[in-house]
Amino acid sequence: MAVPEKGVKLLDFWMSPFGQRCRIALAEKEVEYEYKEEDLSKKSDLLLKSNPVHKKIPVLIHDGKSICESLIIVEYIDEVFPGKTNILPSDPYARSHARFWADFVDKKVYDCGSKLFKSKSEALEELNKEFICILKTLETELGEKKYFGDDAFGLVDIAFAPFTSWFYTFEALGLSVEKECPKLAAWGNRIMERESVAKSLHEPTKIYDLFCELRKKFVDA
Amino acid sequence: MKAVKQKPSSVSPMEKENSSSSSLKLFGSWASSYTHRIQLALKLKNLTFDYIEEDLSHKSPALLLHNPIYQKVPVLVADGRPIPESLLILHFLDEYFPHNPRQLLPKSPHDRAAARFWAHFTDDRLGPAVAAVFASSGDAQVAAVDRFRSELRLVEAELTDGVFAGSRFFSGDQIGFLDIVLGCGSYWLAVFEEVAEVKLVDAVEFPRFHAWLRDFEEQDEVKAIIPSFNELLGYARGLRKILLGGGGGEADNDGGAVAGVEAGDMGNLQK
């Protein structure tokens, strides 16, 4: 029987906010890993074998074993690699609280955000309102804290961080995060001071360019 | 707040040992499989708790206070602090009572990740697939059954060759986190088969799943928690009438939830 390959590999796609979560977590823990960019139009055998159920990135492969789904990967990284930072707090209630809000980001932000990207102009106003509501809920949860994890950068910060690169594009769609949720916008700037975040996220203008391209192709066609 | 209504099959706090001095309160709904997950976990851990039955068509101010974002059951209130979402509550119970001999999640990080993955699969893919079968008829139902079977095949494959292959339960010899998550909900399958007149779990096509479910349902703690087949049947019949627009209105009991059955806007269907 083949010996499983040692080490850490991340199957990912440059633009994926879910992949970015994993990159941030790995950077926070200073884990060395091999990054493998997937062509989503032609998925590799390794990806299909590692995530046969969803066939999606990101997938973390650690010593030959695969872990799928970004928030599950981030918790795994926290459990396995000690590092200087704890992604989840130690108090059980605080852990539940963090998981709840990370899950909220999953349930609400991505769905509504990507609907916004794909929608025709008529639907924009309604979606904007819905999205602002979601962002305001997150902003209320953030409150006056430095991070969602209070003094400690943690799971919810990691869950939401990648979406901050989308703010510039939202502005083009008539939704100013700066204006509607100034605390959230400030948090977005604050987290960019962390090396793990700065090196994992893309220039907002790059996201905007891609958005324009996709929109031309699929929405305005 | 509605008066406590203890269904005969629900956990009786009087039978319990109190293995801690913590105060636990569970807001739930008798037909909600998400609620059953927590009742079962508490029973396995031998923890005493107060149970509050919620009328899901008239939610209590307490529930809305404890779960303002989703306004759903179950919610566990532990020493005054609320934890919503069944999967989160299950994690919390392990972590809040770390010396409790019955730890639900696997020990190894990889197995924990796998258990979490399949828990999400249950809630995000399998559950909605079942709901779609239950909410449809004719050709739409045939298509929905096909889709459900293809999802179940993934579970069957996992039981055959995956991380959990070779054990009686996902957690080994005893039921644990994933058994609770998948099991509390799977007992609806036989109910839906009868009400929707459709075959969902063929023992020949899904031998491992079939055997696992049978073993799960045989556990004493599971038998003590899950409402009787007839109670579930009555509830499901009423719900199906509503879903198919057959009028007749009311389900046979309060609330309108067949939790573990999610499919778009199904009115009162709740976690």
Beta strand pairing status for A59-62 and A65-68? antiparallel
Chain-chain contact of B83 with A96 (C-beta, under 8 angstroms): yes
Report the C-alpha gap between A1 and B92 in whole angstroms.
39
Task: Pick the closest to residue B28 from B62, B57, B53, B47 (CA basis).
Answer: B53
Chain-chain contact of B85 with A53 (C-beta, under 8 angstroms): no
Q: CB under 8 Å to B98, separation ≥6 — which residues? A: none
Chain-chain contact of A93 with B84 (C-beta, under 8 angstroms): no
Three-state SS string over chain B comes to CCCCCCCCCCCCHHHCCCCCCCCEEEEECCCCHHHHHHHHHHHHCCCCCEEEECCCCCCCHHHHHHCCCCCCCCEEEECCEEEECHHHHHHHHHHHCCCCCCCCCCCCHHHHHHHHHHHHHHHHHHHHHHHHHHCCCHHHHHHHHHHHHHHHHHHHHHHHHCCCCCCCECCECCCCHHHHHHHHHHHHHHHHHHHHCCCCCCCCCCHHHHHHHHHHHHCHHHHHHCCCHHHHHHHHHHHHHHHCCCCCCCCCCCCCCCCCCCCCCCCCCCC
Report all structural domains of chain B as residue ranges with CATH numbers, in order of start.
Answer: 13-96 (3.40.30.10), 109-263 (1.20.1050.10)
Closest alpha carbon within chain B to A141: B69
CA angle A113, A115, A120 (to 5 degrees): 125
121-160 in chain B: CB under 8 A from chain A:
121, 154
Q: Does B243 touch chain A if contact means CB atoms closer than 8 Å? A: no
**For residue A8, which residues of chain B lie inside 8 Å, CB to CB?**
none
CA angle A191, A193, A196 (to 5 degrees): 75
Residue type, B131: A
- Among B116, B152, B177, B181, pick the best mutation site for testing chain A contact (most A Cβ within 10 A): B116
Task: Pick the closest to residue A77 from B110, B171, B120 (CA basis).
Answer: B110
* ipTM higher than the 0.90 cut: yes
Mean pLDDT in order along chain B per 10 residues (271 residues): 39 40 94 97 97 96 96 97 98 97 96 97 96 93 96 96 91 96 94 93 95 96 95 94 68 37 33 35
Kindly give the parts of chain A with pLDDT less than 70.
1-2, 219-221
Residue A220: predicted pLDDT: 65
Residue B34: predicted pLDDT: 97
Residue A3: predicted pLDDT: 75
Residue A152 to residues A61, A145, A158, A159, A195, Cα–Cα distance (Å):
27, 10, 11, 14, 15
Report the C-alpha gap between B185 and B259 in whole angstroms.
8
Residues A33, A35, A36, A41, Cα dihedral to 10°: 140
B3 strand-pairing partners: none
If you search the block for the tokens 């609770």, which residue do you land on? B180
Residue B266: predicted pLDDT: 33
Residue A211: predicted pLDDT: 85
A161, A20 Cβ separation under 8 angstroms: yes
Cα dihedral across residues A194, A197, A199, A205: positive or negative? negative
Q: CB-based burial of residue A193 (10 Å sphere; 0-12 exposed, 13-18 middle, 19+ buried)?
A: exposed
Residue B10: predicted pLDDT: 42
The pTM (predicted TM-score) of the whole model is 0.90
In the numeric block, which tokens belong to residue A60?
A: 């973390």
Residue A127: predicted pLDDT: 84
